[in-house]
Amino acid sequence: MKFAVFLYPGVEPIDLATFGVLSMARRIAPQIQLLTVAPEPGPVVLSNGLTVLAQYGVGDCPPADALIITGGPGWPAQTANTVTLDFIRARAKDSVVMSVCTGGMILAATGLLDGRHATTKREVVSPEEQPLALMHNRYTKVRAVEAPLVGRLRNRAHPRIHDRPQR
């Protein structure tokens, strides 16, 4: 299985843990493949100055089974970046798309979460606005909920929260 981790300027470095967890998983499932993608290939400056290299840009990213949208203070710019939003929408046709933390805000901006339950970061430090409240107010077709995990499968921690499109 191939995973693409989406990066952009301002990603919170802790969200790279998705790459780290999958890297560790390769020890027992060596068929796992990992790649990084950003709006443009090359150096990406994360929150607080850490620079990482995106192997691919959205224009040359190979197919992947799953696309992980990371979060961080750079998310607002990505919600307005049509290149990013179009890339995610296109990938959703052939890949599982998921998000971490405020990556949910980017995913909400694509419209892919319309009619579905979704969550994002809720705890903030002043003067930051609470992303969960912003998701609820900006993306009114998304069923924004406070939950540790929301997905297609029933959430064991919150059995009433599961992802079913509204009809």
CA–CA gap between residue 73 and residue 12 (Å, rounded): 7
pLDDT of residue 113: 87
Write a three-state SS string for 30-43.
Answer: CCCEEEEEECCCEE
Residues 103 and 121 in one domain: no
- pLDDT value of residue 132: 74
Could you list the active site residues? 101
pLDDT digits (tens, 9 = 90+) for 36-81: 999 999 999 999 999 999 999 999 999 999 999 999 999 999 999 9
- Does 125 or 100 have the greater pLDDT score? 100
> What are 77-109's pLDDT values in tens digits?
999 999 999 999 999 999 999 999 889 989 999
Q: Residue 5, SS3?
A: strand
Instruction: Mean pLDDT check: name the lowest of 22-31, 71-80, 109-118.
Output: 109-118
- The enclosing domain of 105 has a CATH number of 3.40.50.880
The verdict on 74 and 40 lying in the same domain is yes
Range of the domain at 68: 2-112
